[in-house]
Structure 1
Amino acid sequence: MIGKLTGTLAERNPPQVVIDCNGVGYEVDVPMSTFYNLPGVGAKISLLTHFIVREDAQILYGFGSAEERAAFRQLIKISGVGPRTALGVLSGMSVGELSQAVTLQEAGRLVKVPGIGKKIAERLLLELKGKLGADIGLPAHIASDAQADILQALVALGYSDKEAAAALKALPKDVSVSDGIKLALKALAK
């Protein structure tokens, strides 16, 4: 398995790059988030990779961070989501945004990504729940599942992420979900 490539960036043809590693050019498909952060042709680069061998092809996928590669690996485990779709998801949103959408169960954010329909979005939300470092996309002060549930409930009731997070800050850290929702709603009603 090829886990990392370090070499000279030889070509940039979105969504593919060619990395020259001591005279051997590796074609690597990358999400657009990685592509935009690459230096110019001729610069030295290093990408984490995921190597897929199929009956008709051997394809390298490259990522600028370990989080992107981990998210890609979680995505391709889901039935109906192939490597191209996973690259599309990571091109359309950051890992933090994906994690937040999964934590808050926001299918609407996923449907905005080209190639993701309602059924696939719902499957992603179901299968990725708790697998992407669930609190990556949530505000840093959310420390428990109860607080995440309270935040999700407030967002589901129509409050913005910002309003819900602000109401959550005012709650005691050890509050139960039902009491937390009641207290947050009272605070937001003022």
Structure 2
Amino acid sequence: MIGKLKGLVDAFGDDHVLIDVNGVCYEAHCSAKTLSALPRVGEAAVVFIEMLVREDLIRLYGFASETEKAWFNLLMTVQGVGARVALAILSALTPSELSSAIALQDKAMVGRASGVGPKLAVRIVTELKGKVPATGAVDAGVLGLQSALGAGVATSNVADAVSALTNLGYSSAQASAAVARVVSREGEDTATEKLIRLGLRELSS
């Protein structure tokens, strides 16, 4: 099995990269975010690999981090999510944003990915609620939010507060961390307006 490739970027395709490892070029299919994070042609790169083997196909999938690879595998545990859909989700959302979407049960955020309809988006956030990749690598803000909520699933007021803060220009991780600190002090039944107000105070301090 191939777990990681270290070599030179040989070429890019629409959905893959060729990595030259001592004269042997490996084709790894990647998310758009991984492709954009890789260095230019001719430069050294490290790509984490998941190899899928079927009767008629051997394909390598490449990731910029072990966290992204772990989310790829976790996503594929959901019925209806294959490698192509998992990559589409990781092209639309960073691992941190995906963690936040699941904690907040934000099916609309997951539904931004190509090929993910409303029913599949609901299934993804429902089946993965409270779960994290095997690496345990979750954004600190999202982990704090999950811990503050206990079950790792946000109530509507908490979700609305995080959404409002992100709409004001804060990142999902910043908003989640701020609301997590408020929830830990005030409780998850705190009104949305108060969560937003106190969250803004946290973000400005």
Instruction: State the TM-score bracket (shorter-chain normalisation).
Output: 0.7 to 0.9
CA gap 1:99/1:168 in 2 versus in 1, 3 angstroms: closer
Give ranges in structure 1 of 5+ residues lacking alignment: none
State the shift of 1:108 in Å. 0.8
CA gap 1:137/1:27 in 2 versus in 1, 3 angstroms: same
1:45 matched residue in structure 2: 45
CA gap 1:140/1:51 in 2 versus in 1, 3 angstroms: closer
Asked if 1:153 is matched to 2:157, the reply is: yes
Question: Quick one: which of 188, 194, 201 aligns to 1:177?
Answer: 188
User: Given that residues 149 and 177 in structure 1 are in contact (C-alpha distance below 8 angstroms), is that contact kept between their aligned partners in structure 2?
Assistant: no
Distance 1:69 1:109 in 2: 20
CA displacement 1:7-61 (0-9 Å, x = unmatched):
1111111211111111211110011111001111111111110000012110000
User: Given that residues 16 and 28 in structure 1 are in contact (C-alpha distance below 8 angstroms), is that contact kept between their aligned partners in structure 2?
Assistant: yes
State the shift of 1:93 in Å. 1.0
The residue type equivalent to 2:149 in the other structure is D
User: Given that residues 102 and 125 in structure 2 are in contact (C-alpha distance below 8 angstroms), is that contact kept between their aligned partners in structure 1?
Assistant: yes
**SS of aligned partner of 1:116:** coil
1:136 matched residue in structure 2: 139
1:74 matched residue in structure 2: 74
Asked if 1:86 is matched to 2:51, the reply is: no
The residue type equivalent to 1:121 in the other structure is A
Bigger radius of gyration: 1
User: Given that residues 167 and 188 in structure 1 are in contact (C-alpha distance below 8 angstroms), is that contact kept between their aligned partners in structure 2?
Assistant: no
**SS of aligned partner of 2:139:** coil
CA displacement 1:67-97 (0-9 Å, x = unmatched):
1011101011111100000000000111111
The residue type equivalent to 1:84 in the other structure is R
Identical columns (%): 33
Question: Root-mean-square deviation (CA), in Å?
Answer: 3.2
Length, aligned pairs only = 187
Distance 1:167 1:45 in 2: 35
The residue type equivalent to 2:26 in the other structure is Y
1:27 matched residue in structure 2: 27
Distance 1:108 1:129 in 2: 15
State the shift of 1:153 in Å. 2.4
2:63 matched residue in structure 1: 63
**SS of aligned partner of 2:184:** coil
2:105 matched residue in structure 1: 105
User: Given that residues 52 and 60 in structure 1 are in contact (C-alpha distance below 8 angstroms), is that contact kept between their aligned partners in structure 2?
Assistant: yes
Give ranges in structure 2 of 5+ residues lacking alignment: 169-174, 198-205
State the shift of 1:173 in Å. 3.4
Of 144-153 and 30-39, deviating more is: 144-153
